[in-house]
Amino acid sequence: MTLHLACIAEGDFLRHTGAMLHSALQHTTQRPLTVHLLHGQPYPAADSAHIRSVVEEAGAELHLLPVTAERAATFRDSHFPRAIWYRILLPELLPAVERVLYLDSDIIVGDDLAPLWHTPLEGNWLGAVCNPFYPFMPDYPVEALGFGSGREYFNSGVLLLDLAALRAAGAVAPLVDYARQHPQCAYPDQDALNVVCRGRWKPLHPRWNAQSTIFELPAQTLPFTAEQVAQARSAPAVVHYIGPFKPWSHLCRHPLRARYFAHAAQTPWGVPAIADATLRNRILRLLPLRWIDRWMRLERLLRRPPRLRARLRRIGARR
């Protein structure tokens, strides 16, 4: 049975996808294996050759899967690139495929993906790992989406998708409708998947999506058992560098950051330069994460004066 692995890459993120695929293909011995790479604009010839070499030299097959401009225009502009939505189109983009494993680009695989691929979904549409939030953040799933608990909300960076079941349920249409109606969601595609697939997803062991929060938060605050947390920390199968501070950012303090560079070095692109080691970031890197979050929120607020002034003018005009 062919293992189908899907991912999305546009622009500069293609090199990071290359590192992710190198790690996935190095650790996963099952063949045949087909990589479905979703994208919008065609890649430059050099980049296309680079990503093809990463996949084919590992004995896998590369399937470039373009999303037309017309289909991409279905999704409104938001604070995230439109490409993040492509994953919800997988049931229609891969009409002959029964099941696919989707991985984000900001991931490094550290173990064989075959056991995850063969995980029974027991009638659910997908398998995923719960998404923990930092204590200094709002209880987003409860407050914004009306969920009963944050444990009901999963991270969309690693998804084991039953495409046949999603097609049979006609799930793409409501996912696209949610995208159209909620363009400013904090976590656009993730929110859509969680709302539409609520109650139809199987929780997976956190080692299959060891998000940064697993390493940064006390075990007792995480939505997993103590044993699961210990296993995810000691032997993560998939390391997911969630949040704004990726390994190629100076502000990244992830304990497993070096894994990214080890695999990036073995791709044709090589290791990316750390271009944001500014004085500001050197200072921020010394602060606790909650203070970095507050500082960045303040910076975003200070960038809004023109809009605030316009609002004040409109208020004044009405008086």
pLDDT digits (tens, 9 = 90+) for 57-72: 999 999 999 998 888 8
**Per-residue pLDDT band at 191 (split at 50, 70, 90):** very high
Supply φ then ψ for residue 280, to 5 degrees.
Answer: -55, -50
76 burial class (0-12, 13-18, 19+ CB within 10 angstroms)?
middle
CATH number of 3-276: 3.90.550.10
Top-confidence residue, 260 or 184: 260
Query: How do the domains of the chain map onto residue ranges?
Result: 3-276, 287-319
Confidence class for position 307, pLDDT limits 50, 70, 90: low
More confident residue, 266 or 185: 266
Percent of the chain with pLDDT over 90: 69
CA distances from 70 to 40, 177, 220 (A): 10, 16, 47
- At 214-231, the pLDDT tens digits run 999 999 999 999 999 999
Give the per-residue pLDDT at 61: 98
Q: Give pLDDT, residue 278.
A: 85
**pLDDT score of 54 more than 80:** yes
Residue 312, pLDDT > 70, answer: no
pLDDT surpasses 90 at 206: yes
Give mean pLDDT, residues 227-241. Answer: 98
Average pLDDT over residues 222-243: 97
How much is the pLDDT for 193? 97
**Percentage with pLDDT > 70 across the chain:** 93
Asked if residue 103 lies in contact with residue 238, where contact means CB atoms within 8 angstroms, the answer is yes
**Tens digit of each residue's pLDDT (9 = 90 or more) over 92-105:** 999 999 999 999 99
Residue 40 has pLDDT above 60, yes or no: yes
3-state secondary structure of 56: helix
Q: For 33-47, 148-162, 267-281, which range has the lowest pLDDT when averaged over its residues? A: 267-281
Residue-level pLDDT at 119? 98
38 pLDDT higher than 50: yes
Element (H, E) at 128: strand 126-130
Q: How confident is the model at residue 139 (pLDDT cuts 50, 70, 90)?
A: confident
β-partners of residue 90 are none
Kindly tell me if the per-residue pLDDT of 317 is higher than 60: no
What is the residue-wise DSSP string for 131-142? ----TTS--HHH
Exposure string over 167-205, b if 16+ CB within 10 A, otherwise e: bebebbeebbebbeebeebebbbbbbbbbbbeebbbebb
CA distance 59 to 50: 15
